[in-house]
Amino acid sequence: MQFSNKQILQITYPVLISLLMEHLIGLTDTAYLGRVGEVELGASALAGVYYLVIYMLGFGFSVGAQVLIARRNGEQDYLKIGPVFTQGMLFLLLLAAVLFTLSNFYSPILLRHLIGSEDVYLATMKYIDWRVYGFFFSFTAVMFRAFYVGTTHTKILTANSVVMVLTNVVLNYILIFGKLGFPALGIAGAAIASSISEAVSVLFFIIYTWKKVDYKKYGLFRYEGVDFRMLGQILSVSVWVMIQHGIAFCGWFIFFIAVEHLGERPLAVTNIVRSISSFLFMFVNAFASTNSSLVSNLIGAGETEQVMKLCRRMVRICYYFVLPIALLFAVFPELVLRIYTDNQELVAASVPSLWVMLSSYLLAVPAFIFFFSVSGTGNTRIALIIDIVSIAVYVLYIFYIVIKMQPEIAVCWTTEYVYNIMILSSFYYIWKGNWRNKKI
């Protein structure tokens, strides 16, 4: 089993398009709220990252399930894929209910102590109060995504994402600004639009899978009760990814909280630069996620000697996409920044931070492709250890640079270099680590 560049692109392209479409949800939120006010723009950043910290617990579980699905797919043991999907779905719906309840009780208390500005706090809570309903839909959607990526049938992800984004863009316009007879809900409208668009995404997945997929081949849609043995098997892989993603986004949340204490303008700048960074990271994430699935397929087929070659090729292909875009953004920064705000002072203040962030992708591409590959081997505990150490160094750097020194916001963005350098240590594990005989 060898994957040519054409095959890699054929598998990655739908994943990339789906991620880019999903990114447009955040982009439209930021672009619309940037025209409402700087407080709303900054609050949407804090609320969005806070939501992602919780969401990543579910996403991390789906990554573990995806690794198992890919391994069974590589072994051509297709009937064992369905039980992984079903038990994973049951677990994620229960997790969504628990996190929804905890968030409603404790989010106001936690954020009240963390956010300095009263206006930013109130706007943040308006967003979160509605956004948490999305847990039920987004957690369901990530299991469908795990199934399609794990079985390398990724084309459906593109169509699904287009439907979700179009729904979000239209609802954002209607609910944020109060069109077609609806009241102008501002930041709360953005949260409602995002949650509804995720519900539409899930409905699309269900209908497509039922009508177009040979679900009997994979043993899908067969409920035989809760299988604690299967859940334990999935969790043995995914629990480390869940903790890993939760910790990673906690580090990012700490960064945003630290920046919020520098003022509303630095927070608004950070939200804009974060959105642009997220656009570039979609390319990295698409290639890294595909690489993780292909690594698991290669190991399942007994071809471990191809793993390092695949990783190097994936880094090279990813650079072909990321570097030209980053260079274009660096040369025409104001053109890009005006997508998010018509405030010229805010645009000018964002340019230095944008340049720092763009340059960090020289390290981010190889760092994340090798890092995701560690999860693809099934050794998610090692991935967690790498991430914990990286986040610890990252947070220490935030406390020293951002909180203690309180420099210009562009200097604060050098935190990206620190994290990427630490994550790049995963290269050594793929090169020399004991992963070749890992059974899952």
Q: What is the domain range of residue 41?
A: 5-432
Q: Rounded distance, CA 279 to CA 22, Å?
A: 10
Three-class secondary structure of residue 408 per DSSP: coil
Could you tell me the pTM of the whole model?
0.72
In a domain, 413, yes or no: yes
Q: Which of 115, 32, 21 is nearest to 340 (CA)?
A: 32
Tokens of 272: 């804009």
Length of the chain: 440
Burial 394-425, CB ≥16 within 10 A → b, else e = bbebbeebbeeeeeebbebbbbbbbbbebbbe
In a domain, 439, yes or no: no
In a domain, 275, yes or no: yes
In a domain, 236, yes or no: yes
- Output the DSSP codes for 19-53: HHHHHHHHHHHHHHHTTT-HHHHHHHHHHHHHHHH
Residues 6+ apart with CB under 8 A from 335: none
In a domain, 440, yes or no: no
Token match 């920064």: residue? 333
pLDDT of residue 244: 75
First-residue to last-residue Cα distance in the chain = 20
Residues 6+ apart with CB under 8 A from 393: 418, 419, 422
What are the residue ranges in the chain where pLDDT is below 50? none
pLDDT of residue 413: 94
pLDDT of residue 324: 96
- Output the DSSP codes for 137-156: HHHHHHHHHHHHHHTT--HH
pLDDT of residue 202: 94
CB 415 within 8 A of CB 356: no
Total number of domains in the chain: 1
pLDDT of residue 412: 94
Q: Rounded distance, CA 374 to CA 372, Å?
A: 5
In a domain, 94, yes or no: yes
In a domain, 39, yes or no: yes
For the beta carbon of residue 323, count every other beta carbon within 10 angstroms.
15
E strands present in 276-364: none
In a domain, 288, yes or no: yes
